[in-house]
Chains A and B, each alone.
Chain A
């Protein structure tokens, strides 16, 4: 019996916007001029915000911070294809995703300042807090998508993971479920080239990460992750398929982490600057600006206006962040259970005693009011 080919795969890569700003019109998605400008605004503003956050950290006004510079397109664009009721679960490097979903960035700063009050999301949106142990959310997203399917209103769930995380078993199980139950899920693999110090080439021997999807009966494609138009087109298509009941999609966005892993890392220990410079030429924002300028949608005057508005916005968010009063230590006991059990009531009282031991009998009156629900 001769050997038969029982399956073969073509892994496609989508690129629309070249680094010179030229567009492949045959692949160009339908996007209004207004939305094109909005795409640029989001990417422009989140980069400025990122730069300020790094400065805040370097001057001791913020804790360890994961920078997103270079990944603005993969972060800010996919949310534009979604409804507020669709679930979105970013990674910890997800400031741009939350921003595009409408989060007030003062809360992002508060979170990275080590304050639990920072986990606040826009009212009305189905946005979930990211998971720090990477990839542990991926199976949960299968569940969120499953819930959307059961509700029958065409809702979807979109999530992210990195190239490093794609090595974890979590993705295997998540895609197994997504394929098996034909779930309306979109898994964006934000392949930024590096998992802290370990390059993409050491994560998997497969040529692409997109091709992993096909092993689970899930559609997978690769996209130039620094090309906002390609990211948008791929997401719109994946969301449309999901809404129609055609199942899940993996979108591998090939992008680049321009900065360190976090402010606690030093990338010069393990990667060549040559590589960073090479990727600088593929920057998602300057490429998009060339495109908008050629289309006569953008000019220096508009850039200046946006810069001024961005400075004011960032100053306002930083000010609001820094004006949060120190948290009341008793806050940590709130919202652990719908109703706190006896031992937490006891332990909270013990913490009150400790605070009085440290600060005197009047200290509980001087602290800001405790927040959250207790008992």
Chain B
């Protein structure tokens, strides 16, 4: 994956605008690129991620599909095999389980089953996570199910800059990418975004801030929570916190993880999904396998409880907040 030289012009965009800009750019640069999903056309997507694209590129390239997630996923696979570059949208994370048959049995396996003859260069965009006061099944964190599945690259940005560069990299990737977009950050995350084309290398974590006493490993909207927790720990406890936003969940940037944990010796993994069988569990296992002797304390995981996501009146007690990260970090620091 090449990283193009960043052009000088940048503007402040929010995360959903950055996604929109990447989609627009991909559609204009490559005639094979098309978007399909529910309400992505005339309505511009329920989060407005595809706003304006239907008008600009027409019905054949920005397609309002029937309400049928398996149809969207399966036909996107077929389109990709046939030479197109489909970008499919599943409207909410909670509607993603419908496509698992296609995702688990086919998406990541077609390259290998055809002994390299066929490939599936598609992107599946899925809004991710909670805390937006949404109805039931609109606040889920299904990344571990996908990461568990071989052959699929899994990406989740937490800044507008990363969202654009990673989405363009995902669209240009020769293999299928599931691209999670943290809903909470769609409008709240704002930042400088270069106007031109650029990509960010898939598989590389971002050091959000450097520190020497403890490492926070995180992704998605929880990155912002970790920043708040770090600020408090530095002020109240005088602890120096390093934060790694993984950005790509599969394949993991293990070098970056081990370098950071090797330096600090203490680690808290923070995410929104239930802890059991989570991607935090995989990270924790990798650190134990490859970095055990560098550890000064057990690795702590802060995640959702092992129950279903409650309706939104209680969601702030389900998804970890800065308090929970602080509590886990203090326990780790004082071990």
Question: Which one of A132, A327, A336 has the greatest number of beta carbons of chain B within 10 Å?
Answer: A132
Judged by a CB distance under 8 angstroms, whether B71 is at the interface is yes
Give A66's nearest chain B residue, CB to CB: B135
With beta carbons under 8 angstroms apart, the residue of A112, A132, A202, A336 that contacts B94 is A132
Contact, CB under 8 Å: A196 / B68? no
List chain B residues, Cβ under 8 A from A353.
327
Judged by a CB distance under 8 angstroms, whether B313 is at the interface is yes
With beta carbons under 8 angstroms apart, the residue of B95, B305, B327 that contacts A357 is B327
Q: A169-B68, A202-B66 known; A354 and B137 CB under 8 Å? A: no
Give A115's nearest chain B residue, CB to CB: B313
With beta carbons under 8 angstroms apart, the residue of B69, B313, B324 that contacts A327 is B313
Contact, CB under 8 Å: B134 / A269? no
Cβ < 8 Å to B, chain A residues 169-220: 169, 195-198, 202-204
Question: Which one of B136, B276, B313, B317 has the greatest number of beta carbons of chain A within 10 Å?
Answer: B313
List chain B residues, Cβ under 8 A from A333.
305, 307
Question: Which one of B67, B136, B317 has the greatest number of beta carbons of chain A within 10 Å?
Answer: B67
Which one of B38-46, B196-204, B211-219, B239-247 is at the A interface? B38-46
List chain B residues, Cβ under 8 A from A116.
310-311, 313-314
Give A341's nearest chain B residue, CB to CB: B306
Judged by a CB distance under 8 angstroms, whether A165 is at the interface is yes
Judged by a CB distance under 8 angstroms, whether B192 is at the interface is no
Q: A195-B67, A329-B317, A333-B305 known; A354 and B324 CB under 8 Å? A: yes
Contact, CB under 8 Å: A197 / B312? no
With beta carbons under 8 angstroms apart, the residue of B43, B311, B317 that contacts A115 is B311
List chain A residues, Cβ under 8 A from B133.
63-64, 114
Contact, CB under 8 Å: B43 / A197? yes
Judged by a CB distance under 8 angstroms, whether B150 is at the interface is no
Per the bound structure, the CA–CA distance linking A354 and B315 in Å amounts to 14
Per the bound structure, the CA–CA distance linking A1 and B39 in Å amounts to 48
Chain A proximity of B38: nearest CB distance (Å): 7
Interface residues on A, range: 35 or more
List chain A residues, Cβ under 8 A from B136.
132
Judged by a CB distance under 8 angstroms, whether B323 is at the interface is yes
List chain B residues, Cβ under 8 A from A343.
276, 306
With beta carbons under 8 angstroms apart, the residue of A118, A132, A347, A358 that contacts B306 is A347
Give B42's nearest chain A residue, CB to CB: A270
Give A135's nearest chain B residue, CB to CB: B67
Judged by a CB distance under 8 angstroms, whether A292 is at the interface is no
Cβ < 8 Å to B, chain A residues 242-276: 264-265, 269-270
Per the bound structure, the CA–CA distance linking A98 and B68 in Å amounts to 27
Per the bound structure, the CA–CA distance linking A198 and B62 in Å amounts to 13
Q: A168-B68, A354-B327 known; A195 and B38 CB under 8 Å? A: yes
List chain A residues, Cβ under 8 A from B138.
132
Which B residues contact A (CB, under 8 angstroms)? 38-39, 41-44, 46, 64-71, 94-95, 97-98, 133-138, 276, 305-308, 310-315, 317-318, 323-324, 327
In addition to A114-B315, A196-B46, A326-B313, 13 A-B residue pairs with Cβ atoms within 8 Å of each other are: A114-B314, A132-B138, A197-B42, A198-B38, A198-B65, A202-B64, A265-B46, A269-B44, A327-B314, A329-B314, A332-B310, A344-B307, A354-B323
A-B contacts, 26 of them at CB < 8 A, read: A64-B133, A64-B135, A112-B135, A114-B133, A114-B312, A118-B311, A133-B94, A134-B67, A164-B66, A164-B67, A167-B68, A168-B68, A168-B70, A169-B70, A198-B67, A202-B66, A331-B310, A332-B307, A332-B317, A332-B318, A333-B305, A344-B307, A347-B305, A351-B305, A355-B317, A358-B323
